[in-house]
Copies of this chain bind each other. A is one copy, B any other.
Amino acid sequence: MNRPIGVIDSGVGGLTVLQEMMRQLPREKLIYLGDTKRCPYGPRSKEEVQKFTWEMVDFLLEKEIKLLVIACNTATAFTIEDLKNKLDIPVIGVINPGARAAIKATKNHHIGIIGTEGTVKSGAYPEALERINPKIHVKALACPPFVPMVERGIFAGDEAKETVEKTLKPLKSLKNLDTLILGCTHYPLLKPIIQQVVGDNVTVISSSEETARETSAVLEIEQLQNKTGYHPVHEIYSTGDMELFDKIAQQIFINGKYKELIIKSAEIEKD
């Protein structure tokens, strides 16, 4: 099954999922679409996020994708049920893989979640966790400064460190927390700083890595694996400022992997 896999995100954050998919699924061709023009989705209404997400999905369906990954927690929280019901290809969001990994990792059942306002308000993570285990203690914290900072290409240095420290302060008092879910695909870019701030006793779960792995499982179960490809050239589309997008993509895709990517501009808005 040599058709591509589609990956959508509100901006550059989903590139952390793409990167993990390139690493864990080197036979698969990937097409990524980041809606950088309208990023961030976090503070937007459910209706707006749904409309924008469908515009992205329509763009990718024309490219004959065999599976869709929603590499954005806000879009997953607001659209996954609708997409699952209406599309005839498998749809994988970032929330359930992260929730499952946290349930596997936790020893004391105290799990923290950080994400955008939209994701936190949606209650999608506590719901996903409770569906699996009703006795999990969940503490969710919205971190509005993180996405705009990462979209400006700032993942390290003093500004990043100060912002993370200040924003995560409310978690400091939670002595019991042994697992923290990065409930936004932008956050893995801040993972080294986040790990430093919360300390080594907390297992930090990257929903990006977990989503890539679960995609691998679904490809096998649904018999959609590409059995012959190897490191194909991937296509990356952005709806917004190409110069900034290109700069951030280069920061993420170090180690020579960048040459396997073609970056293009996309126009997806409908009225």
Instruction: Give the B-binding residues of A (Cβ under 8 A).
Output: 24-27, 90, 96-97, 100-101, 103-104, 131-135, 209, 212-214, 216-218, 220-221, 225, 227, 230
Contacts and interface: CB of A to CB of B under 8 A. Distances in A.
Contacts of A90: 221
B221 A132 contact: no
Nearest to A222: B221
B217 A26 contact: no
Which secondary structure dominates where chain A touches chain B?
helix
6 contacts: A24-B132, A25-B132, A27-B134, A104-B213, A132-B225, A214-B217
Contact of A221 (B26, B221, B230): B221
Given A96-B220, A221-B221, A132 B27 contact: yes
A166 to B, nearest CB: 32
A103 B25 CA distance: 9
A214 B101 CA distance: 10
A137 to B, nearest CB: 14
B97 A217 contact: yes
Given A131-B225, A134-B230, A213 B24 contact: no
Contacts of A216: 100, 103, 132
B218 A221 contact: yes
Contacts of A103: 24, 216
A153 to B, nearest CB: 26
B104 A24 contact: yes
A104 B214 CA distance: 11
Between A132, A133, A225, the greatest number of chain B beta carbons within 10 A of the residue's beta carbon is seen for A132
A210 B145 CA distance: 35
Contacts of A132: 24-27, 216, 225
Contacts of A133: 26-27
Contacts of A131: 225, 227
